[in-house]
Structures are given as structure tokens and as C-alpha cells.
Structure 1
Amino acid sequence: MIELTKDDDLWVAKINRPDKANSLTHEMLTQLAEIAEAAQDARALILTGEGKVFSAGADLEEARAGLATSDVWERLSGAIAALPGLSIAALNGTLAGGAMGMALACDIRIAVPGAKFFYPVMKLGFLPQPSDPGRMRALIGPARTKLILMGGQKILAEEAYAFGLIDRIVEGDVLEAAREIAADTAAAKPEIAAGIKAMC
């Protein structure tokens, strides 16, 4: 349910479980973490989804059985954050729950106009993954982070862009837009790209 394609040094990992709103099982999260860990030599990694939803977060049955508090979420977001190359979340639709962590860990987030963003972890009786509030706060500030995590608000793409939660709203093919953004990094000397990322 995770599809990986490699175009030279550009890797694309696609969540492909559209019949379940791309909700994530432990197996899928482990696959994503393994891809991110293996992508240390890739120039760029793009995360995207199949269908109209990027991911609804954890598979509810597995969440109740312990997935909601598993360390696999932190393993995944930590591996993405540690990449020396460029990481892009190409959000083909709504981003919800724990799936927010992998997008927050990316260098760049782009989304289609109809995307919604929400993280109803408090309502479900769980804490967010440890690194997620800090990464969200760094992007949008503490008050707006509380608006999402404590106020339970669904943020539309336009508002998410105004907040700084996403970096661009893309009309059309969001994956192709991500490929275009990654093209210069993929073509550059890896030490130059990694050096620029470290300087940023």
C-alpha cells in the first residue's frame, strides 16, 4: 500500500489505500520509515497520496489497538527530518491526525486547493506525537498550533497557506509541481544541496 518509484535520485513514496482514505497501518508506517531511512543518498524525496485524501491518519482499528502511541510515527518523521536532500509533501488532499507528522517534518509542503488540515488527537484521548507540536509551532506559532491541536479546528488550504502551514497551493497536478520544485536539487551536486539545506 506504499508505492515507491525512483527516477534517478528523485524518490516518490505514494500512500495507496484510497478506499480507506489512505489511513495508515503499522506496516505502512514502517514501510515509509524504511524508505525515508534508505533515502539518505537520494537527492529528493516526495511524499504523496492516491485519490482525494493524502491521509486520514492512523487506521482507527489499529489506533485503538496501540498504533496511536507507537514510536513508529517518530521513527518516520525523524528519518524525514534527518534527510540531507530535499523533502516535499505533495498533499493531494486532506491531511489529518498523525499523518501530519510526516508532512511537518518535510522541508516544503504544497497542497491542492480543496485540502483540509486537522489533528483531532485530543478528542480521541491521545497526546500528539512528541515532535509534532514543536514542528508545527515553528511554522505557524504557538497560538495557531493550539487552535489546531486544542481547538480542534479544521483549517482550509487558503488559511493553511496564510498561516505558513503549507508553502504553496497548486492548481493541477501537485506531484508534477513537486517534481518541478525538486528538479534543481536533483540535478545539483549532493554536497552543495546538503550544504544549502544545512545553512537554511
Structure 2
Amino acid sequence: MTYLKVEREEEIVQITINRQDKLNAMNLDVMNEFISLLDDLEKDSSKVIIITGDGPKAFSAGADIEYMSSIGPAEAEKYALCGHEVLNRIEKLEKPVIAAVNGYALGGGCELALSCDIRFASPNAQLGQPEVTLGICPGWGGTQRLLRIIGPARAKDLIFSGRKILAEEAFSMGLINKIFPSESLLAETRAYAKAISKNSSFAIGISKMLVNRGTDTNLDTGLKLEIYSWAVCFSTKDREERMRKFIAKK
């Protein structure tokens, strides 16, 4: 890996975008490394994934504008397809993914955070979808995930204005789950990830799928899928062992 630093601590994997000189903007090389890494993470023994950016200035400033300035519609479509592949795979990964947002998370950087399950931020975080200021619309899922997380009215506000919002406003919108001091953001995120890792990976994966599917289906279908998934959980040794221990302890 050239642009992604990967650190493993027990069952937690921290991925750091390592392009500090470019504010951790994601070019095709970064995205190809993400795809290769996600292939491994789908099969390894890790339980929780953390994504962050190198340095205090940026989580990710988004897509590579220098590259985009010189391409046409066909190349732009390929670039967007690659971005969608990365973010869709993060969203569909059976393991929980936490974004630790330090500094700028703009455009594709905000969209990367949106694809994660949980978003923590430092007070200096700035989030936004400024694409319209460059003559384009969000292209890595921002128009779809943002409205599902904060609602269509607030999504339109951020997308139409292209404005950046600070962590406090992002928190008030529900875009950020919690704000931690800059110096303890990663430590707090790892502590949270460690707590999650003690729970049933199978049950968490099933629950993530149910919540994700629930945003795109009607209530009756979602409830039927939940009943089926609940029943499947009772087929696992993990469930049997956890319940046995609970009863013994009680």
C-alpha cells in the first residue's frame, strides 16, 4: 500500500488515507488500493474497521480536482463508477465501519464518511458537498446517502449552497454521531470499536444489513426480513454460547 496505512490492533483495523500533501484527496490509485484492501477485509478475522485521514488538516478533501479538470464525460463516468464501487463495498461490508473525521471532509471525502456506519468527528472537522461550486453535482453517492441520513431538505441545503459546516452543526443534523477532542478522537474511536468487537459479529452483520435494507423498503417487507434474520441467528453456535453464559452468570 502506497496511499493507505493499515494498522491492526487485535480485531480492529485502522485505515489511514496517506496523502497529507494533497489533503488526502482520493485519486484512482487510492481507490484501487481501497478495493484491494476491502477484498482482504471481507475475508479476514477483523471485526471493526476505522477509516481516517493522515494529519490534522483533512479526513479527505474528496476527489482529485486536478485530475478532474482535464477529463471528459467518458472518463468522468469511469471515475464515478470507481468511487461508487469503493463506497458501496464499504457500506455493504458485513463488519461495522467507523469514520474518524479530522479536518476537511468535503465532496468525495464527505461521501466516504457517509458510506460508513458511524461518524465521529473532531471539533475542527468541516463537512460539505461543494461540487456545484465547480460546475458538477455530487458523484460518489452524496445525493442519495445524504438525504437518507439527514433528510431531503437539509441535503438540498448543503448540496445547493455548497457550503461547509462545522462539526457542531453536522452533529445537530445527525450527520455526525459524536464529537471528541482532536487529541483524543482516534483513541475514543478505537475504544468504541473495541467495545463493538466484543459483540457477536454475525448478529452485527445481520443487523447492519437489516438497517441498510430498511431504508429502501416498506415496513412490512422490512419486518418480514427481520423475522427471518432473527430466526437465522438461532442457528449459530455463537448465539447458543452467549445465551448459555448469560444464564449461568445470572
TM-score (norm 1): 0.92
2:121 is aligned with 1:111: yes
Q: Which residue of 1 aligns with 2:214?
A: none
2:149 is aligned with 1:174: no
**Gapped runs of 5+ residues in structure 1?**
none
2:156 is aligned with 1:152: no
Distance, in Å, in 1 between the alignment partners of 2:114 and 2:13 is: 18
Distance, in Å, in 2 between the alignment partners of 1:130 and 1:95 is: 13
Moved more, 114-123 or 188-197: 188-197
Give yes or no for contact 2:14–2:51 (8 Å, CA) kept in 1: yes
Shift of 1:145: 0.6
Moved more, 15-24 or 190-199: 190-199
Give yes or no for contact 1:57–1:95 (8 Å, CA) kept in 2: yes
How many percent of aligned residue pairs carry the same amino acid?
A: 31
Q: Which amino acid aligns with 1:37?
A: D
* One of 5, 21, 24 as aligned partner of 1:22: 24
Distance, in Å, in 2 between the alignment partners of 1:24 and 1:198 is: 27
Q: How does 1:59-98 map to 2 (within 5 A)?
A: 59-66=64-71, 69=77, 70=79, 71-98=81-108
Indicate the structure (1 or 2) with the bigger Cα radius of gyration. 2
Distance, in Å, in 1 between the alignment partners of 2:83 and 2:93 is: 16
TM-score (norm 2): 0.74
Deviations 1:90-128 (CA, angstroms, capped at 9, x unpaired) = 011110111222210111001000111121111212221
**Gapped runs of 5+ residues in structure 2?**
212-250
Q: Which residue of 2 aligns with 1:48?
A: 52
Q: Which residue of 2 aligns with 1:141?
A: 151
Give yes or no for contact 2:13–2:48 (8 Å, CA) kept in 1: yes
Q: Which residue of 2 aligns with 1:8?
A: 10
2:59 is aligned with 1:57: no
- SS of corresponding position for 2:42: helix
Give yes or no for contact 1:90–1:175 (8 Å, CA) kept in 2: yes
Distance, in Å, in 2 between the alignment partners of 1:128 and 1:164 is: 20
Moved more, 94-103 or 123-132: 123-132
User: What's the C-alpha RMSD, in Å, of the aligned pairs?
Assistant: 1.7
Relative contact order: is structure 1 or structure 2 higher (C-alpha 8 Å, sep ≥ 6)?
A: 1
Q: Which amino acid aligns with 2:39?
A: E
Give yes or no for contact 2:104–2:125 (8 Å, CA) kept in 1: yes
Deviations 1:174-199 (CA, angstroms, capped at 9, x unpaired) = 11111111112323332122233334
- SS of corresponding position for 2:127: strand
Number of residue pairs the alignment of both structures matches: 200
